[in-house]
Chain A
Amino acid sequence: MAPAFTLPSTTGAPVALADLLAAGPAVVVFVTDDCPTCELALRRLAAADAAVTVVCEAPPAAASRLSARTGFRGRMLSEPAPYDTSRAYGLEAVPTTVAIAPDGEMTETVVGWDAAALSAIVGLDLGSEPPARKPGCAAKSTYDPAQLAADADTGGDDPEAMFELGWTDGLPTVAPTPERVAAMLAGRDPSVSLGPVPPGMGEATLERVAACAVLAGCRPEHFAVVEAAARAMLVPGFNLHGQAVTTQPAGQIAVVNGPARAAAGLNAGMGALGPGTRANATIGRALRLVVALTGEGMPGRLDRSTLGQAGKVGTCIAEDEERSPWPPLHVERGLAAGTSAVTLVAGDAPLSISEHRSRTPQELAAALGWGAATLWSPNWWPIGAATLFVICPEHADTLAAGGWSKADVRRAIWEAVQRPAGELRHGEFTNRVGAAADEELVPKWDSPDDILLVVAGGEAGRFSAVFGPCVGMDWSPVTQEVRCDT
């Protein structure tokens, strides 16, 4: 006799075997959600619109996804661990298909995929494309109980689930289980709101920001920086809204200063711009996921960036304050030495500037400036937005050898990069160039204040970098203190 069962259905009310048999003979197909042969069987049954009931050895959400993947629109039941029903039916493998008469007698059992046998059971042609027969997988009721307990903890922690939900930037993300999110929050109040995130205006509760941090692959020690960066991003002066919906490629770039760098494990040395350091990669990514998910600024939908760029997966660096000959960025911007801060800048992918020959600060500053001269567009002078340079240690040494301060370097870059308006008046040029006399010199930057400098990178190699800014979006860099204590 077929053992009785009552199991939850993916569409709501629980279903008992007795309910099925009240309507006549029943065909029950036992499957798991991670067995290719079960998927094959379900696709064929769905295509033939076979009237079967499926019992899936997986939680309801996973069973629903199985229905969606295979096109199965019939009754899908979910059997929870430890799979007592499967055990009662003596299952060894899935798929197992059981035909049950109205009086409860099991009239036929088919193990695995067998086109002919299953066609006979359901009374429909399930198709003749190969394979004619295929074995499946072990039923979960045959698993070792310790294995089942371990599986229950992760509970189907499948990267595919995140892709199916759309909670990704195209790369695999880590499922934000309640346990992981709680660990990320580390006692912070999950209901605290940072405000609405443009462009979709989803509210950034700390819980949602923590979910984004988990998705990004952050560890709890990264979260203080993520939270500070998210707060900075939502300051009105940063105008995240304009950045999030523009056709420009710019993303949000985070520069971290102070003791928070070591606490988070951020890299300011070799390879600071990536890849390779978990803190740099995941903190930058968490911030972008807040925009793309909570803020609905997903590329191709509300994010209308024509090409986008790889930096929009996330860009976060630390300044190498110990190696730098100058005060750090956050102190320049008014915070006290010894505090920790994140400064956000809106910019494109980094442009590398090689300079392996210059030996004087003047020569080098001019080279760095001219390397950046075509940012945005060759003739768009002045660029009209804050531009972040990352100066490598060898370059910093050369610039500082003449006793130059950061302000001296900024001034030298600004002074060096100037051209007569007449030479710029082609293609895309500014109103200032349009109105100026031919011989009037126009600078690439309105003032030295538009040039931001941080020091980072490996000891060897004379490569600095500059981030083309987001242009015309009425944004200013924002510096936010990082709260290191929970």
Chain B
Amino acid sequence: MRYVSPYDPAARTPVAAAPRPESVTGRTVALLDISKNRGAEFLNRIEHRLRERGAEVERYAKPLFSRPALGELIERIAARADLAVEGLAD
């Protein structure tokens, strides 16, 4: 029985996650503030702890939590950082 699929196979191709490094020492970590309430405070604490462990930290932000980050922001983070942390929820 042949059916017409509602799915787009091109969109279903899974993207593998990059391998996880053993430590953050010497790595560049991008912190992305999605502009949820008090996200910056949370990321400040994360930055402090990462620097204590020898990481380089770069801060990024997108103006609205309710819309996806623009491609150029994602590309910039991907080009400059080894790891990324998003301040995701409230």
Contacts and interface: CB of A to CB of B under 8 A. Distances in A.
A binds B: yes
A475 B12 CA distance: 27
Nearest to A474: B66
Contact of A176 (B3, B64, B66, B67): B3
Contact-residue bracket for chain A = 35 or more
A466 interface: no
A66 B7 CA distance: 23
Interface string B47-90: 00000000000000000111110000000000000000000000
Contacts of B6: 167, 176, 208, 211-212, 215, 289-290, 293-294
A59 B1 contact: yes
B5 interface: yes
B18 interface: no
B8 A239 contact: no
Contacts of B5: 167, 176, 208, 211
Nearest to A294: B6
B17 interface: no
B1 A239 contact: no
Contacts of A200: 11-12
Contacts of B64: 474
B67 A474 contact: yes
Interface in B1-21: 1-8, 10-12
- Is chain B's interface secondary structure helix, strand, loop, or mixed overall? loop
Interface in A129-186: 155-157, 161, 165, 167, 175-178, 181
A196 interface: yes
Contact of A157 (B1, B8, B11, B66): B1
Contacts of B68: 198, 241
Nearest to A177: B3
A376 B7 CA distance: 33
Contacts of A293: 6-7
A104 interface: no
Interface string A203-221: 1010110111011000000
Contacts of A239: 66-67
Contacts of A436: none
Contacts of A472: 65-66
Given A239-B67, A242-B66, A473-B66, A202 B3 contact: no
Given A196-B11, A202-B12, A203-B10, A178 B4 contact: yes
Contact of A181 (B4, B65, B67): B4
Interface string A276-293: 000000000000011001
Contacts of A320: none
Nearest to B90: A247
Nearest to A61: B1
Nearest to A196: B11
A39 interface: no
Contacts of B11: 196, 200-203, 296
A62 interface: yes
Nearest to A475: B66
Contacts of A289: 6
A464 B6 CA distance: 36
A202 B67 contact: no
A294 B8 contact: yes
B32 to A, nearest CB: 16
A161 B1 CA distance: 10
B1 A175 contact: yes
A241 B10 contact: no
B40 to A, nearest CB: 15
B1 A155 contact: yes
Contacts of B3: 161, 165, 175-178, 211
A169 B4 CA distance: 17
A417 B44 CA distance: 40
Contacts of B8: 201-203, 205, 208, 294
Nearest to A243: B66
Nearest to B64: A474
A157 B1 CA distance: 8
Contact of B67 (A167, A201, A241): A241
B15 to A, nearest CB: 12
Contacts of B67: 239, 241-242, 474
A161 B65 CA distance: 39
Interface in B28-50: none
10 contacts: A176-B5, A177-B1, A200-B12, A201-B11, A202-B8, A202-B11, A208-B8, A241-B68, A242-B66, A296-B7
6 A-B pairs with the lowest CB-CB distances in the bound complex, closest first = A202-B8, A242-B66, A202-B11, A293-B6, A473-B66, A181-B4
Interface of B: 1-8, 10-12, 64-68
Given A178-B3, A241-B68, A289-B6, 7 more contacts: A175-B3, A196-B11, A212-B6, A294-B8, A296-B7, A474-B64, A474-B67
